[in-house]
Structure 1
Amino acid sequence: MTAPVPADLLVVGAELVATVDADRREIRGGWVAVTDGLVSAIGGPADPPPAAGRTLRADGALVTPGLVNTHHHIYQNLTRAFAPALGGTLFTWLSTLYPLWSRLDEEAVHVSAYVGLTELALGGCTTTTDHLYV
């Protein structure tokens, strides 16, 4: 009999694991094993977790599959606090910002992508699409 392959990552001690599976299981005090970038096992506090190369404590946290954002405008993080565009109507906002967006260059797009994707990841989003239409 061959020994089971250890997981690459084991997330333990979650307040709640939301499996988002067909049964919509929610496991208090659960753990999640990840192998080769995919969830390889899920268990509760009574289930023995597999060995793992790395363990991440998730005490007090909600553990879910990565969230999906299907509509985003990542580059707009560069201008979201631009004072002349704040406090008006949608048309005021658009007419104030379109000239700024039309001058975005490669560096601005790179910086906005870095900032925007980091913000999304910090919020649990692992998949998104963007609308860079200007």
Structure 2
Amino acid sequence: MHDITSRTDLFLLMQKFYAKLLSDNRIQYIFTDIAQIDLEAHLPHLTDFWEQTILHQGSYRKNVMQLHLDLNAKEKLTPEHFTVWLEHFNKTVDENFKGDRSELIKTRALSIATVMQLKISQKSHN
């Protein structure tokens, strides 16, 4: 197994990761029913985000936090949703990659999920 080194690696990771999410009844409905994502159109944006975050390349400019706050307004994102998301994320990374960037992407995912949960919780208490 090799480390994450390219956009191609990140795209593959996102494809496999979302296949897991979309087959898990605990979370799948958020993507299909609430967000109604078009996965084929969404995958390049996800890859852009992680490419900027991990490889420091690209020009991703969307406000990820706001996108999730908007989603939370439609359907409350619970701690269980974040736990399921992180479990699938980490498992997908571990099944496909090994190395420093592979560890870094898991750490960043945990940080992002933690900050999102805090901000969502904060927003719902205001």
Please state which structure has a larger fraction of its residues in helix: 2
TM-score over 0.5 for the alignment?
A: no
> Structure 1 length as normaliser, TM-score?
0.31
Max Rg structure? 1
